[in-house]
A and B are shown apart, each in its own frame.
Chain A
């Protein structure tokens, strides 16, 4: 047992520089051909006459190879061409944005619909709230999720409560605030944070974090059209590294629903965003350990069937799916990049221990960032990497 726990900091041979396979580039979770893409579970084609037939009507539909930033652009372009009240604004968005998510939109739809704002996050969100309260579709970009803190007041005090405090007379359902989130490997203190946990108590807001281009397009379109203000956090390292065939038609993916990516029966791993791929790798390593790790992974655990769930919507989170899974597996490991103390995992763990108390075989394990600032040179140590996730799984399996 001790050896598992010490794995991350032990004298074991370090993993190869480019990580253990599969990485994001070769992930089986990414749908890299047309047929797979069109059969993505939960796609809801918006041009469909009868909902619910999504899986059947794939014949005439096309896909295009896109990475995540291209799928963001595709979603925005879809909204801008269908909804005259839609506007996109933020720092440098007219030039395409620092992550190229809005490339060419201002040329296509005009500078009066896609425009740069000053460096004024509180102002951007406040402005977006005003715009949305007039019935517009306001799509704001905060350049990095780390910069959302100046707008915290506007989001928590104004956006979240707008409908409630007006007794339902007003709403700002048209507001969506996009922001790149999570670590990029070298972002440092103010470019690698995951702030989703800070907003958990703000009833009235929704928080969405996609894991891939197909998910990103569908969830972003759903967020923009959701009649509530939504914080849409895009894992920035996946902008380029995650590539899929993305359906070019207009579709949405329902908010508030988690997705079971890999079914299993012995342990549930719950995560969202970038760590989805680290978890996939960890599962792979558990089943077929690389030579350096073979000694510390008991034979008896190698055949464990691990269920992997992508939470996707962080607020309100899909308690039903998670609780159902944990009641089956009896074990839960939650993985997120934000630090463990009072992170989203804390809320989920508390709820799961209440609802699955008699079914739990082991304490709920949280694998997250350390309770330290996201320091530049330590970023790799701070992130819940594959080894730490694997360690958490082993510890929980053998409790």
Chain B
């Protein structure tokens, strides 16, 4: 059999990309003299922040304003504080069950919100907490939902993956299942003749689900105003993208759907890409794939330490060199928009806001037993009764 070994073809060598995407959080350059803090100014996004597939690159010269940057900074900081609070509550055994945190991915949720309008629609699967708040929810509502309290945004019935607002179609427990739902939402927008977009988010792990491709096909077939957003945090649970996907360039996986790969750690690049994608789909060009290259600092869920399939050094390096919040902090300080003290105050305010929301959420009572039976069928159309565990628990409507 030794001869067989000689016959074996040489292993396909990995060909490095001609140009890898930049994932630093602080490579956008100031291209203007800021004289008046109330006026927008020009910045130049690093040319390697984007890669395009069958479409033009977004413009790298963009206008931002001090207010926007400070607002985004506050949002990112608040979202991280909220997720950290959830982490602590989980470790204190107050949150039970499943909990997936998006620490490290704030530039995606905040960048998305700052690039779209309230009429647009968003749907995702796990790591949905920041989107729920950004889309009109409250920190108290999210934390209370995680705690399973009445003040939760789904009245304590949903939990981590099931938080909704009128323009946010949730968290979903089955990764990939939300993507065709997103196509349906986009169809309704098109049917109603509205110039609005749906952003259907999924992870690099979910990207291999068959129904994701079913949704791509329908969306392109009917030119739906849907942006399919892959949040590539490089690990689907504990499996790295390279080990799960034959093609890890997720923005190219839409066949005839053009795609855009985005530095998901730079908030300015992220927001600019979202605006580009929104314009693309609402102008009747059909769907677009967008891949945010990002990173999650924590494990997949609370039961995953996150260090068995990647090194501590890797996580540490990402945290210290490519953190999206630090990147924005550097822009704000270097461009003289706010001082370190002023930003520290924002951090403190964010923490105080979250702490207050946590206390309020904790004070909220647990759902009443009668609510166990509501919202299964539309009120008035239920079966005469539904079963509990025992005779005494049978609920009669």
Query: Is B208 at the interface (CB under 8 A from chain A)?
Result: no
Q: Is the CB of B181 within 8 A of A173?
A: no
Q: Mark A147-163, 1 if CB is under 8 A from B, else 0.
A: 00000011001100001
Q: Given A122-B210, A130-B169, A134-B188, do A167 and B155 touch, yes or no (CB 8 Å)?
A: yes
The residue in A163, A171, A173, A255 that gathers the most chain B C-beta atoms within 10 A of its C-beta is A163
Please measure, in the bound complex, the distance between the C-alpha atom of A166 and the C-alpha atom of B164, giving whole angstroms: 6
Assess whether B187 is in contact with A130, with CB atoms less than 8 Å apart: yes
Given contacts A154-B180, A256-B383, contact A131 B169 (CB under 8 A): no
- In whole angstroms, what is the CA distance A167 to B218 when docked? 30
Nearest chain A CB to B215 CB, angstrom units: 6
In the complex, are the beta carbons of A167 and B152 less than 8 A apart?
A: yes
Complex interface: chain B residues within 8 A of A204 (CB): 376-377
**Residues of the B chain whose Cβ atoms lie less than 8 Å from the Cβ of A227:** 377-378, 381
Q: Are B221 and A118 in contact (CB under 8 A)?
A: yes
Q: Is the CB of B191 within 8 A of A112?
A: yes
Contact with B along A116-160 (1 / 0, CB 8 A): 011010110111111111111010000000000000011001100
Q: Which of B123-166 contact A (CB under 8 A)?
A: 123, 152-158, 162, 164-166
A154 near B376 with CB under 8 A, answer: no
A118 touches B185 (CB 8 A): no
- Pick from A123, A128, A228: contact of B215, CB under 8 Å: A123
Known: A158-B172, A165-B162. A130 touches B182 (CB 8 A): yes
Query: Could you tell me the distance between the alpha carbons of A319 and B177 in the complex, rounded to whole angstroms?
Result: 34
* 8 Å CB interface, B194-242 against A: 210-211, 214-215, 217-218, 221-222
Contacts of B384 in A (CB 8 A): 316, 319-320
> How many whole Å from B348's CB to the nearest CB in chain A?
33
With a cutoff of 8 Å between Cβ atoms, the chain B residues found around residue A138 in the complex are: 184
The reply to whether B184 and A127 contact each other, CB–CB distance below 8 Å, is yes
CB contacts (< 8 Å) of B382 on chain A: these are: 316
| A133-B169 contact given A168-B155, A173-B378, CB 8 Å threshold | yes
Q: A166: which of B156, B162, B180, B211 is its contact (CB, 8 Å)?
A: B162
* A136: chain B residues within 8 A (beta carbon): 188, 191
Whether the Cβ atoms of A126 and B215 lie closer than 8 Å is yes
Instruction: Check if A127 sits within 8 Å of B183, measured CB to CB.
Output: yes
Known A-B contacts A165-B157, A167-B154; the reply to A158 vs B375 at CB < 8 A is: no
Within the complex, which residue of A87, A157, A167, A171 is in contact with B177, where a contact is CB–CB below 8 Å? Answer: A157
Q: How close is B173's CB to chain A, nearest CB, in angstroms?
A: 7
Contacts of B177 in A (CB 8 A): 126, 153-154, 157-158
B-chain residues with CB within 8 Å of residue A154 when the two chains form the complex = 177, 180, 211
Q: Are B210 and A171 in contact (CB under 8 A)?
A: no
Identify the closest chain B residue to A166 (Cβ).
B164
B174 contacts the other chain (CB 8 A): yes
Q: Which of A115, A165, A170 has the most CB of B within 10 A?
A: A165
The answer on a CB contact under 8 Å between A165 and B170 is yes
A378 to B186, CA, bound (A): 46
Q: Are A167 and B158 in contact (CB under 8 A)?
A: yes
Is B307 interfacial (CB 8 A cutoff)?
no
Chain B residues positioned under 8 Å from A125 (CB to CB) = 180
A127 pairs with B187, CB closer than 8 A: yes
A320 to B174, CA, bound (A): 36
Shortest Cβ gap from B214 to chain A (Å): 3
Known: A127-B180, A134-B185. 20 other contacts (CB 8 A): A120-B217, A126-B183, A126-B214, A127-B215, A129-B181, A130-B169, A130-B181, A130-B185, A130-B187, A131-B184, A131-B185, A154-B180, A163-B376, A164-B375, A165-B157, A167-B156, A169-B153, A169-B165, A170-B169, A227-B378
Q: How far is the CA of A169 from the CA of B166 in the complex (A)?
A: 8
Contact in complex: B173, A133 (CB < 8 Å): no
Q: Nearest Cβ in chain B — how far from A203, in angstroms?
A: 5
Chain A positions 95 through 119: 1 when the CB is less than 8 Å from some CB of chain B, otherwise 0 = 0000000000000000010010110
For B157, give its contact among A128, A164, A170 (CB under 8 Å). A164
Q: Which residue of A lies closest to B219 (CB)?
A: A127
Residues in B with CB closer than 8 Å to A122 are: 180, 210-211, 214
